[in-house]
């Protein structure tokens, strides 16, 4: 069975390393970066704003939902599992006192499911101010969905693409303040862009596929910012560092155990997501990649991860074709 990493993200620019991927902990880089944090940046109230968060039943998604609900937003939790979603919904309403929190059941690995959700949600005819693409997956085995897609790609790339594209009309209703925040990963620093979206190699590597997926998310964010720059929607990707979430524990138990007590909490991982949701758009760079409340480089020296416009255009055409095929 696939393991949902609805909240964890491989990441970190510094810190101890594992499998070629560095790990940053809250006590290291985060402590240095937090010296520059401004408390007033997180004090904004956002009553009247509608926020959709995928993978919101636990981990970073849950922490983001609770953080936005506590600031007065109307929050829609998009969760695959109805029971876990209902538990998260009840807890957030109780903790925040905000009753404008709602559950939407949707499996992000399924284009058909996302289309059904988009159709249902569009009938509400409400503007979407903030879409947080948080749902993610790191499955170590090669598994295909019922629609025929490798499951990591289906959730991390195709699901993210489909959800974003289908929400654009509702986000335009919230312009010029609408924004899309995609929770990516520092793991993308290890992966160049590839058009081999479903990892055709005979020897499947889930961690490598995850890193590839996360690179695509960052480049997609750049592409969306370019394509829709005149629609009043901002597009941002970010990585939260390594957080001690259920997804990390399930997908990489050895790693989680080895760094027990050194990883970020879900709330710390969600910090930059919430920060991006609250800042005036003039303070942010559409298409930018953020880490610890600041724009971060998208490529590290000597990693050969820069990409061509032709490659991303080809990937977008493929994703568009897959989305429209069902």
Considering 189, 210, 228, 236, which one is annotated as catalytic? Answer: 210
> 61, 33, 24: which is closest to 264 by C-alpha?
24
Q: How many CA atoms lie within 13 A of 319 on its CB side?
A: 27
> Would you call 210 a catalytic residue per the annotation?
yes
Residue 104 host element (H or E): strand 101-105
Cα separation of 193 and 42, whole Å?
A: 34
Q: Which residues of 173-205 are buried (b: 16+ CB within 10 A; e: fewer)?
A: ebeebbbbbbbbbbbbbbbebeeebbbeeeebe
Query: Three-state SS for 86?
Result: helix
How many other β-carbons are positioned within 10 Å of the β-carbon of residue 252? 23
Beta strands in 37-169 (DSSP E): 50-54, 74-79, 101-105, 130-133
Residue 319 host element (H or E): helix 309-324
Beta strands in the chain (DSSP E): 16-18, 21-23, 50-54, 74-79, 101-105, 130-133, 178-183, 233-238, 289-291, 294-295
Residue 102 host element (H or E): strand 101-105
How many other β-carbons are positioned within 10 Å of the β-carbon of residue 254? 8
Report, as residue numbers or ranges, the catalytic residues. 210
């Amino acid at each position: 069975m696939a393991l949902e990493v609805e909240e964890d993200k491989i990441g970190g620019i510094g810190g101890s390393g594992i499998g070629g991927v560095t790990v940053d902990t809250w006590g290291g880089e985060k402590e240095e970066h937090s010296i520059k944090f401004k408390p007033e940046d997180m004090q904004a109230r956002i009553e009247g704003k509608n926020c959709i968060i995928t993978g919101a039943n636990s981990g970073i998604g849950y922490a983001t939902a609770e953080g936005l609900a506590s600031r007065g937003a109307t929050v829609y939790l998009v969760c695959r599992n109805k029971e876990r979603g209902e538990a998260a919904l009840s807890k957030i309403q109780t903790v925040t006192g905000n009753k404008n929190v709602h559950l939407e059941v949707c499996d992000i690995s399924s284009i058909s499911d996302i289309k059904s959700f988009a159709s249902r949600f569009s009938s509400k005819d409400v503007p979407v101010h903030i879409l947080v693409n948080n749902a993610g997956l790191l499955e170590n085995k090669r598994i295909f969905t019922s629609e025929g897609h490798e499951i990591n790609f289906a959730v991390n790339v195709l699901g993210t693409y489909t959800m974003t594209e289908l929400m654009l009309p509702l986000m335009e209703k919230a312009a010029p303040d609408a924004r899309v925040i995609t929770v990516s990963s520092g793991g993308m620093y290890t992966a160049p862009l590839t058009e081999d979206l479903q990892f055709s190699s005979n020897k499947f590597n889930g961690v490598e596929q995850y890193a590839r997926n996360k690179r695509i998310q960052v480049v997609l964010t750049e592409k969306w910012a370019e394509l829709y720059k005149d629609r009043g929607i901002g597009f941002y990707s970010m990585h939260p560092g390594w957080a001690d979430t259920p997804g990390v524990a399930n997908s990489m138990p050895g790693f989680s155990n080895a760094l027990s007590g050194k990883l970020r909490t879900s709330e710390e991982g969600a910090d930059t997501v919430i920060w991006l949701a609250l800042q005036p758009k003039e303070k942010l760079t559409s298409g930018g990649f953020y880490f610890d409340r600041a724009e971060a480089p998208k490529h590290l020296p000597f990693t050969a991860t820069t990409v061509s416009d032709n490659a991303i255009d080809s990937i977008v055409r493929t994703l568009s074709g897959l989305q429209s095929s069902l």
